[in-house]
C-alpha cells in the first residue's frame, strides 16, 4: 500500500507513519517540517498547507490511502482538491475528535450525538473548544462529501509514550508511589483512554482494509477507581469529592493547577463514557492499562523534556491535609 500521511511528525500521525512502515508499506509524509522528525523509513515532502500543494505530492504513483489529522478546514479542502485527479480511488481516514459533540453530558455517539455547529473558516483551535470542535465538524463533512466511503475516527483521550499533553503522564509519574495519592472525584466516575500505538495500528488497518464509517475511537469506559488502581497498584488512593476540589480551586482536566482526568459532574458525564463497541468490532485492540502506564513512565524517565501537567507534589500534599481535616 502506498500511504500518504498528512503530518507524520507529532504524536498520533507519527505513530501512524511508524506503524505503516513496520508493516512494509510505502509511506509518504507531507508536512511543514517544523514540529519534529518523521519516523525512519518514510519519504518526507515539505508542504505548508496554507500554500498550494507542491508538485512532488503528485509526482509519483497514486496513493492507495490517505490519513489526515488536520484541524483546519482550508487544509483539508486543499488536500482533497490536490489529490482529486491524482488518486481518485484513495481511501481516506480522517482523524477527528469527540470534541465534535455538542453535549459533554451525553455519551451518545455517531448518528445519535448532537454535533457542534460546523465552522468552515480557519480559526485558532486553541482559543476555545468550540473553535476546535466546530472546525473538526467542518473537516469531517468536507472529507465525506468528497470521499463518501471514508473512515472518520473520533478519538477521546489519547495517551502513551510521547504524549505532548502531559495528562496521563501525571499518573504515570506517580505509578510507583506507595504512599497516599490524591484521587479526584468519585471512584465510580467513568473514564476512558486509548494508547496512541493501538489507535495508530487501527488507523493503518482501516486504510489497508478500506474500511469506512464513523467511530468513537476510544477504549472501553471504566470507573476511574479501576483505572487508577491499574496505574498505581501500590498507592493508597485518598478520594476527594467534586465539591471539595471545586472549593479548593482545583482545575479540571489539564493545566498547572489541575488534577488530570478529573471532570466536574454531571456536566461532563458523557465525555469519557462513549461506546467503544463499534470501534472494537472494527478491529481496535486496546492494550492493558498497566502496560501503557509502564511504557509511559519509561518514556518519562528517558526524556527529561517530556511534559507533565497537573498540580505539584507540594500542592497535592496540602490538599491531602485539607481533605483529612474536611
Q: What is the pLDDT of residues 3-46, one digit of tens each?
A: 999 999 999 999 999 999 999 999 999 999 888 899 999 999 99
Domain limits, CATH 3.40.50.720, in the chain:
2-155
Mean pLDDT of the chain: 96
Q: What is the pLDDT of residue 99?
A: 97
Task: Give the pTM.
Answer: 0.97
Q: If pLDDT is split at 50, 70 and 90, which confidence band does 57 have?
A: very high
**The C-alpha cell that represents 166 in the structure block:** 502531559
Quick one: average pLDDT of 101-112? 96
Q: pLDDT digit string (tens) for 176-191?
A: 899 999 999 999 999 9
What is the C-alpha separation between 199 and 240, in angstroms, rounded?
32
What is the C-alpha separation between 309 and 245, in angstroms, rounded?
17
Quick one: average pLDDT of 235-250? 96
Q: What is the pLDDT of residue 255?
A: 93
**DSSP per-residue letters across 175-241:** TT--SEEEEES-TT-EE-EEEHHHHHHHHHHHHHHT--EEEEE-PPPEEHHHHHHHH-TTSEEEEE-
Q: If pLDDT is split at 50, 70 and 90, which confidence band does 248 have?
A: very high
Fold of 2-155: Rossmann fold (3.40.50)
Q: pLDDT digit string (tens) for 122-138?
A: 999 999 999 999 999 99
3 state SS of 46: strand
Q: pLDDT digit string (tens) for 185-239?
A: 999 999 999 999 999 999 999 999 999 999 999 999 999 999 999 999 999 999 9
Q: What is the pLDDT of residue 35?
A: 83
Q: pLDDT digit string (tens) for 256-265?
A: 999 999 999 9
Q: Please name which of 123, 126, 133 lies closest in space to residue 96, comparing C-alpha atoms.
A: 133
Which residue spans within the chain are E strands per DSSP? 2-6, 26-31, 43-46, 65-68, 91-95, 151-155, 157-159, 180-184, 190-191, 193-195, 213-217, 222-223, 236-240, 251-253, 258-260
Q: Is the pLDDT of residue 325 over 90?
A: no
Q: Please name which of 83, 82, 77, 44 lies closest in space to residue 65, comparing C-alpha atoms.
A: 83
3 state SS of 67: strand
What is the C-alpha separation between 284 and 156, in angstroms, rounded?
14
Q: How many CB atoms lie within 10 A of CB 104?
A: 18
Q: If pLDDT is split at 50, 70 and 90, which confidence band does 282 have?
A: very high
Quick one: average pLDDT of 48-67? 95
Quick one: average pLDDT of 52-69? 95
Name the more confident of 177 and 292.
292
- What residues does 323 pair with on adjacent strands? none
Amino acid at each position: 500500500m502506498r500511504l500518504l500521511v498528512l503530518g507524520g511528525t507529532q504524536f498520533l500521525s507519527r505513530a501512524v507513519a511508524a506503524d505503516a512502515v513496520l508493516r512494509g508499506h510505502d509511506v509518504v509524509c507531507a508536512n511543514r517540517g517544523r514540529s519534529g522528525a518523521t519516523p525512519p523509513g518514510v519519504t518526507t515532502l515539505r508542504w505548508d498547507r496554507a500554500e498550494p500543494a507542491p508538485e512532488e505530492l503528485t509526482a509519483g504513483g497514486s496513493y492507495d490511502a490517505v490519513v489526515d489529522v488536520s484541524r483546519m478546514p482550508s487544509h483539508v479542502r486543499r488536500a482533497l482538491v490536490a489529490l482529486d485527479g491524482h488518486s481518485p480511488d484513495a481511501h481516506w481516514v480522517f482523524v477527528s475528535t469527540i470534541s465534535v459533540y455538542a453535549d459533554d453530558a451525553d455519551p451518545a455517539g455517531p448518528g445519535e450525538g448532537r454535533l457542534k455547529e460546523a465552522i468552515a473558516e480557519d480559526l485558532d483551535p486553541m482559543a476555545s473548544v468550540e473553535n476546535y470542535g466546530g472546525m473538526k465538524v467542518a473537516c469531517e463533512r468536507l472529507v465525506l462529501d468528497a470521499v463518501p466511503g471514508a473512515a472518520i475516527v473520533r478519538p477521546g483521550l489519547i495517551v502513551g509514550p510521547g504524549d505532548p499533553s502531559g495528562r496521563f503522564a501525571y499518573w504515570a509519574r506517580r505509578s510507583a508511589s506507595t504512599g497516599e495519592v490524591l484521587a479526584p472525584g468519585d471512584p465510580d466516575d467513568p473514564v476512558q483512554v486509548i494508547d496512541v500505538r493501538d489507535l495508530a495500528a487501527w488507523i493503518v488497518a482501516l486504510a489497508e482494509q478500506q474500511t469506512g464509517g464513523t467511530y468513537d475511537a476510544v477504549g472501553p469506559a471504566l470507573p476511574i477507581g479501576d483505572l487508577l488502581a491499574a496505574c498505581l497498584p501500590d498507592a493508597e488512593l485518598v478520594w476527594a469529592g467534586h465539591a471539595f476540589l471545586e472549593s479548593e480551586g482545583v482545575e479540571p482536566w489539564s493545566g498547572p493547577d489541575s488534577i488530570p482526568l478529573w471532570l466536574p459532574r454531571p456536566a461532563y458525564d458523557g465525555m469519557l463514557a462513549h461506546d467503544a463497541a463499534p470501534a472494537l468490532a472494527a478491529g481496535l485492540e486496546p492494550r492493558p492499562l498497566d502496560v501503557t502506564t509502564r511504557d509511559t513512565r519509561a518514556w518519562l524517565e528517558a526524556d527529561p523534556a517530556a511534559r507533565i501537567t497537573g498540580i505539584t507534589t507540594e500542592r497535592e500534599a496540602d490538599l491531602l491535609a485539607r481533605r483529612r481535616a474536611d
